[in-house]
Amino acid sequence: MSRMRVRKLFRKTRFFFFALFGLIVISVSVLSITTVSRELSVEYESNSRSIAQNIADSSVDILLNRNLATLQSLIDQFVQIESIRYIYITSETGEFLAHTFVPGIPDEILASDASSTATVERSLPGLGDFIEVGAPILSGVAGTVHVGMDLELLGLKIQRAIGAQMALFGIIFVIGSLLTFWFVNLASQPLADLLAFAVRMAGGESATGDEPVLSRDDEAGELARLFVHVNRRAAGADRER
Amino acid sequence: MKNADGTRARGHRPNGTVPALTRRSLIRSGFASLLAAPWASSLGASMVPGAGASAARGRNASRPPQDDEIVLGVSAAFSGPSRGLGTELYRGSMAYFNQLNENGGVNGRRIVMKLLDDGYQPDPCVANTIELMQDENVFLLFNYVGTPTVTRALPVLKTFRDQQVFLFFPFTGAEPQREPPYGEFAFNLRASYRQETAGLVDNFVRIGRRRIAVFYQNDAYGRSGWAGVREALARHGETIAGEATYTRGTQFSASMRGQVEILLERSPDAVICIGAYAACGAFARDAVDLGLHIPVANVSFVGSENMLQLLQEGRSDPNSHTRWLVNSQVVPSYEDTSLPAVREYREMMAVHDPPPPDNVARITEGEPYETFPQSFVSLEGFVNAKLITEIIRRMGDDPQRSGIEEAVFAVRNYDLGVGERVSFGPERRQGLQRVYYTVVEGDRFVPLEDWEAKFS
């Protein structure tokens, strides 16, 4: 018995499935990009500020002892932290007392307000983009610590987080699609059998009673049996005429 | 892991370099793992000076100190771009200890150096210091090399202060081991960077070169010298005219064009370099090539002979890049045979010609190290050894750590034979004060007699 496929009936179902999935993916992605970006940025800035404050607190005695070698040693240890790209410490008069720049202090930083502790974003030619925070040493009377965090690294972290989500969505999409096709085929099988049976009967074949669709106990089976019954009644009426 | 000769090769790197730490690895590993870091490579053999370095091969590095010897713990640069400093300092000391031990040692005890390589990197130095104090039970620490390393090792000494282990005569003129809160754990022989840079600045200002720029290693050492220049200029009413930096471990093959261009923009009259020989040599080379024809000064840590070798090697005119160099030194010229210590040094170096530490040969395989018959660094190692021997001699037949400080403070007006008498005391933890200035003449550094004639 040739199998007939029921495509048209489920076309809308499949369209609806993909449309709904796309909507979920887009809305969740937008939400997660916004959330992850905001949360990571906040965490980044918070960490930077904590580190800057930590250095500022540790620097008081060192600065009062005018021990700049130890001060440099201190910031050299902090700059080994992955996301920190530069640190510089300025005196209360704005003089650069210690820093981690090679081959020199960028002009943009030389020109900036050394006593400012505000969070600023900097783009330094040849170095990259940074978010810089400041922390006062002894309320600013002994100087200011500035810590620059790598924005590219932050971007990379956001990309990684979003990428992981996208990968998860992709896997769910592939599995969902396969399951949908399988389920639609499974659900349409009785209808396909019924359609094939009806086509054969319309072609003048008489039902033998062996057709599998006649033994089904679902709606397709009842419809098939009803077709047989109607067909037989129609055949009896023809003979009486 | 053990080498064929039985010495340990912990962290042994065939190319002779101490691997760079990644930031990620530092965060992950934390301090605890730093202490066990594999690159805190042990050079293994405890040298047996009387028998020469070669006889030390095959000895177990961890053997406990013997009754008839005094063990000095050394963590220094025996690999990497600054290995010449640790090696020459060691050779100078070995020349003296070899002679001493061949003649019965001090109060019947031989002096032995336990060597660990830190590659001039702070974290391995910290690990080495703990190992020397905790595992090797050394009598004292000796001949450490470098400011970034010593600066980080000092807190270890303070942490284990009850053990009364002192650091003697580190090869650095920085302030942290001369001032509170760590000054009480170290004794210095050489003059400080503050004194060296002050002398250079004063002489430059005297001949009318007032706009002075600084090229420095961007770490505690460079900052120490930078601070010295800043302070000295302030006394003349001047500020630093310009500054450029480089990263520790930079090789001679690196380009210093960026640094030279930064300083060219500031039009300085002179540049004071606070760095190691490879990077300072590269800077001196590129300064001449790019038209920065002004005096380029280096402090003693640079390792003058190592730098000169790099600048002259393979050049048709060996002095094309050395005309503007002026290096400050903290020991007199090794050519000045009027000084008894210099005569002794030359004689003992000629007799013993100590080879580099034997494991260095393996670490730097493919990069043979060429020793110098004489150098300022090995002369400093020699006088360091001579003075520490005198201090130990004053401690009698049964030297104890608890008696070290008293023995050092008893050194008053001691004639070391370098033309300057040495004194120590509770408020005086630096033995020598004099700074010498040298320029290149032919294939060596010679005393600079007339600044005006040379640079005006």
| 3-state SS track over chain B | CECCCCCECCCCCCCCCCCCCCHHHHHHHHHHHHHCCCCCCEEEEECCHHHCHHHHCCCCCCCCCCCCEEEEEEEECCCCCCHHHHHHHHHHHHHHHHHHHHCCCECCEEEEEEEEECCCCHHHHHHHHHHHHHHCCCCEEECCECHHHHHHHHHHHHHCHHHCCCEECCECCCCCCCCCCCHHHEEECCCCHHHHHHHHHHHHHHCCCCCEEEEEECCHHHHHHHHHHHHHHHHCCCCCCEEEEECCCCCCCCCCHHHHHHHHHHCCCEEEEECCHHHHHHHHHHHHHCCCCCCEEECHHHCHHHHHHHHHCCCCCCCCCCCCEEEEECCCCCCCCCCHHHHHHHHHHHHHCCCCCHHHHHHCCCCCCCCCCCCHHHHHHHHHHHHHHHHHHHCCCCCCHHHHHHHHHCCCCEECCCCCEECCECCECECCCCCEEEEEECCEEEECCCHHHHHC
Indicate yes or no: CB of A67 within 8 angstroms of CB of B262.
no
Cβ-proximal residues to B202 (8 Å cutoff; 6+ apart), any chain:
B232, B236
Q: What is the pLDDT of residue B362?
A: 54
Within an 8 Å CB–CB cutoff, is residue A37 touching chain B? no
| DSSP 3-state of A146 | strand
Q: What is the pLDDT of residue B64?
A: 52
Chain A CA closest to residue B257: A103
Q: Which range is most confident: A154-168, A216-230, B148-162, B350-364?
A: B148-162
Closest C-alpha among B129, B87, B77, B143 to residue B385: B143
Q: What average pLDDT does range B204-223 have in this prediction? A: 97
**In chain A, what residues touch B262 (CB-CB under 8 Å)?**
103-104
Indicate yes or no: CB of B224 within 8 angstroms of CB of A68.
yes
Between B234 and A10, residue with greater pLDDT: B234
- Residue from the list A67, A102, A105 with its beta carbon closest to the beta carbon of B176: A67
Chain B CA closest to residue A65: B180
pTM: 0.78
- Residue from the list A69, A81, A105 with its beta carbon closest to the beta carbon of B227: A69
- Which of A166-170, A186-190, B24-28 has the least mean pLDDT? B24-28
Residue B206 pLDDT greater than 60, yes or no: yes
**In chain B, what residues touch A81 (CB-CB under 8 Å)?**
23, 26-27
Within an 8 Å CB–CB cutoff, is residue A82 touching chain B? yes
CA-based nearest distance A139→chain B, Å: 24
Span A136-162, pLDDT tens digits: 999 999 999 999 999 888 888 888 888
**In chain A, what residues touch B226 (CB-CB under 8 Å)?**
68
Indicate yes or no: CB of B218 within 8 angstroms of CB of A102.
yes
Q: pLDDT-based confidence at A5, cuts 50/70/90?
A: low
Between B420 and A232, residue with greater pLDDT: B420
CA-based nearest distance A73→chain B, Å: 5
Q: What average pLDDT does range B164-191 have in this prediction? A: 95
The answer to whether the complex's ipTM is over 0.95 is no
Q: What is the pLDDT of residue B370?
A: 87
Q: What is the pLDDT of residue B360?
A: 58
- Residue from the list B21, B221, B258 with its beta carbon closest to the beta carbon of A80: B21
Q: What average pLDDT does range B423-438 have in this prediction? A: 96
Q: What is the pLDDT of residue A64?
A: 77
Indicate yes or no: CB of B243 within 8 angstroms of CB of A72.
no
Residue B209 pLDDT greater than 60, yes or no: yes
Span B333-363, pLDDT tens digits: 999 999 999 999 999 999 999 999 876 555 5
Within an 8 Å CB–CB cutoff, is residue B81 touching chain A? no
Residue A31 pLDDT greater than 60, yes or no: yes
Portion 99-118 of A in contact with B at CB < 8 A = 99-105
Q: What is the average pLDDT value for chain B, to the nearest integer?
A: 86
**In a mutagenesis test of the A interface, which of B158, B223, B248 is the best target, namely the one with the most A β-carbons within 10 Å?**
B223
Q: What is the pLDDT of residue B306?
A: 94
Q: What is the pLDDT of residue A105?
A: 96
Indicate yes or no: CB of A73 within 8 angstroms of CB of B152.
yes
**In a mutagenesis test of the B interface, which of A59, A61, A76 is the best target, namely the one with the most B β-carbons within 10 Å?**
A76
Portion 213-242 of B in contact with A at CB < 8 A = 218-224, 226-227
Which one-letter amino acid corresponds to residue B341?
A
User: Per the omega criterion (within 30 degrees of 0), is the bond before B181 cis?
Assistant: yes
In order of their start, the domains of chain B are 23-190+336-409 (3.40.50.2300), 193-329+436-455 (3.40.50.2300)
Q: Which range is most confident: A23-27, B43-47, B213-217?
A: B213-217
**In chain B, what residues touch A101 (CB-CB under 8 Å)?**
218, 245
What is the token pair recorded at B115? 């060597």
pLDDT more than 90, % of chain B: 79
**In chain A, what residues touch B246 (CB-CB under 8 Å)?**
102-103
Span B54-99, pLDDT tens digits: 333 333 344 556 778 999 999 999 998 899 999 999 999 999 999 9
Q: What average pLDDT does range A25-48 have in this prediction? A: 86
Within an 8 Å CB–CB cutoff, is residue A93 touching chain B? no
CA distance B137 to B128: 12
Q: What average pLDDT does range A227-236 have in this prediction? A: 84
How many interchain CB pairs under 8 A, A with B? 75
Cα Rg of chain A, angstroms? 37
Residue B423 pLDDT greater than 80, yes or no: yes
- Which of A8-12, A107-111, B208-212, B295-299 has the least mean pLDDT? A8-12
Q: What is the pLDDT of residue B226?
A: 97
**In chain A, what residues touch B122 (CB-CB under 8 Å)?**
73, 76
- Residue from the list A67, A84, A102 with its beta carbon closest to the beta carbon of B175: A67
Q: What is the pLDDT of residue B39?
A: 30
Q: What average pLDDT does range B224-253 have in this prediction? A: 97
Within an 8 Å CB–CB cutoff, is residue B49 touching chain A? no
**In a mutagenesis test of the A interface, which of B34, B218, B255, B271 is the best target, namely the one with the most A β-carbons within 10 Å?**
B218
Chain A CA closest to residue B223: A69
**In chain A, what residues touch B290 (CB-CB under 8 Å)?**
none
Span A68-103, pLDDT tens digits: 998 999 999 999 888 899 999 999 999 999 999 999
Beta strands in A45-157 (DSSP E): 84-90, 96-99, 120-124, 128-137, 143-150
Residue B41 pLDDT greater than 60, yes or no: no
Span B242-266, pLDDT tens digits: 999 999 999 999 999 999 999 999 9
- Residue from the list A69, A80, A84 with its beta carbon closest to the beta carbon of B175: A69
